[in-house]
Structure 1
Amino acid sequence: MDNDLFPLLQLCDSNFPSGAFSHSFGLETYIQEQVIVDKESFKTAISAFVDKQLVFSDGLACSLSYEILENNRGMDELLEIDRLLFVSTLAKETREGNRRIGERMAKLCLELYSSAPLEEFLYFIKNKQGYGHSALVFAIVGHHLQIDKEKILSAYLFASVSSLIQNAVRGVPLGQTDGQKLLVEMQVKINEAKNKIKKLTKDDLGAISPGLEIAQMRHERLPVRLFMS
């Protein structure tokens, strides 16, 4: 078994305590409005999430961050990607959710892997000069462990989808078997997303769906909520 597989499995594990299990990133709005009611309707919603949010925002940021590290372009450019991610996210809960997950993941990964760039990134977060996002943490850790970009990007996309599916098992609710079936079915979509991201540039960052952004904003006013965003 490849040595780089072990950290990827750990980062993608649903038990990894990043706090992602507390967030739906707007999908709970669709659940309460009964747009999402079963496996198929959730598959439609999460496919749109992958095509927009993950391709043009989080996944692209992970890819761009890895390239910055690979080419030794410095922390300033990483912080610029971090800033663009934060300011292009219109919904407050989603901005804060991403920040909390990223900071928590950075702190935990720094204890697991001694990485100078990760320590520097966390320093800027703690001193309010950076916001923190799990996409950047994934890229920093992957580069530090010398895992190639495609594997890291695939792992990040998979972890994001897996987390949302596990949350849907609780929130829709879906059966555990349906959740696992959906995770298998989404593997094709994840691979398509990775191939799309490879063709994008920094200019494409933040081009996501207005409908999803509105659902994320409306989540703040739901009368009853299982998730923080």
Structure 2
Amino acid sequence: MAEIAALLAALQHGDSQFPSGGFAFSWGLEGLLADRLVARRDLAGFIEGQFRHRWSSFDRVVIAHAHDLAGDLDGLVALDDLTDAATPAAAAREGSRRAGNALLGVHARLGTAGAQALRAKVQADQAHGHVPVVQGMVLAGVGLARDQALAVAAHAMATAFCTAAIRLGLASHLDAQRAIGQLRPLIAELAARPLPALDQIHAFTPAAEIAMMRHAGQDLRLFSN
């Protein structure tokens, strides 16, 4: 019974229809498409690069620690500060804050444990509300174990990229499902790796970050980054 309840919670919070606000962000994909640096055949490779060189070594670690810190507001704020300091690209930093705050606002309204307290810190300019911090905390708050929370967060990231690609005309719905299916074994393997220490978090996705920086100067924009 408990396993089924956890599975249902994971399905609910990993569903692309969950109002997380993530639909507003392409995380550099729109800019790369505008500069003709990605094509339909590149979608799975692009997502794989984001998982290998950012999610696995940065977001995953923060999500796991935020999950462990659920209920420790001061610890979450300190982790949020570290996440902010370790995200040097302003466009990526702002995107993470905006996406995290959108997700946090939904969970505060849903009454998820801890969400309102962290949101109050953000509203008082005492926290940033970065998305991996919020993900870890709220997924713990809805009763998911850490490995379940990592799986939901990974799935949400993959579907966010695929949804952006569909809206940009870069992929069909079938292309997106192929990409997710193709990447599932890799994502599962990355999610199961031993966690590095917090002081070892790192990311290296320069093409996407540069695309986000250039995005602000584009005349026509569908996404916020």
TM-score (norm 1): 0.89
Match of 1:132 in 2: 129
1-side partners of 2:112 and 2:52: how far apart?
34
2:13 is aligned, of 7, 11, 14, to 11
Q: How does 1:1-229 map to 2 (within 5 A)?
A: 2-38=4-40, 40-69=41-70, 74-115=72-113, 117-196=114-193, 198-229=194-225
The amino acid that maps onto 1:22 is A
The amino acid that maps onto 2:139 is G
Q: Displacement of 1:114 after TM fit? A: 4.1
Q: Displacement of 1:100 after TM fit? A: 1.7
TM-score (norm 2): 0.90
Equivalent pair of 1:90/1:213 in contact (CA under 8 Å): no
What percentage of residue pairs aligned between the two structures are identical?
Answer: 24
Equivalent pair of 2:84/2:93 in contact (CA under 8 Å): yes
The amino acid that maps onto 2:204 is I
1-side partners of 2:104 and 2:8: how far apart?
18
2-side partners of 1:142 and 1:228: how far apart?
25
Aligned residues: 223
Q: Displacement of 1:89 after TM fit? A: 2.1
The amino acid that maps onto 2:54 is Q
Equivalent pair of 1:26/1:212 in contact (CA under 8 Å): yes
2-side partners of 1:79 and 1:110: how far apart?
17
SS at match of 2:5: coil
1-side partners of 2:4 and 2:197: how far apart?
30
Equivalent pair of 1:168/1:174 in contact (CA under 8 Å): yes
Q: Unpaired segments of 5 or more residues in structure 1?
A: none
2-side partners of 1:192 and 1:182: how far apart?
16
Q: Deviations over 1:147-190 (max 9, x none)?
A: 21001101101111111111101214211111111111121121
Greater CA drift, 91-100 or 163-172: 91-100
Cα 1:87/1:226, change in 2 over 3 Å: same
The amino acid that maps onto 1:49 is Q
SS at match of 2:45: helix
2-side partners of 1:195 and 1:123: how far apart?
33
Equivalent pair of 1:93/1:228 in contact (CA under 8 Å): no
Q: Displacement of 1:209 after TM fit? A: 2.8
Equivalent pair of 1:85/1:206 in contact (CA under 8 Å): no
Cα 1:91/1:126, change in 2 over 3 Å: same
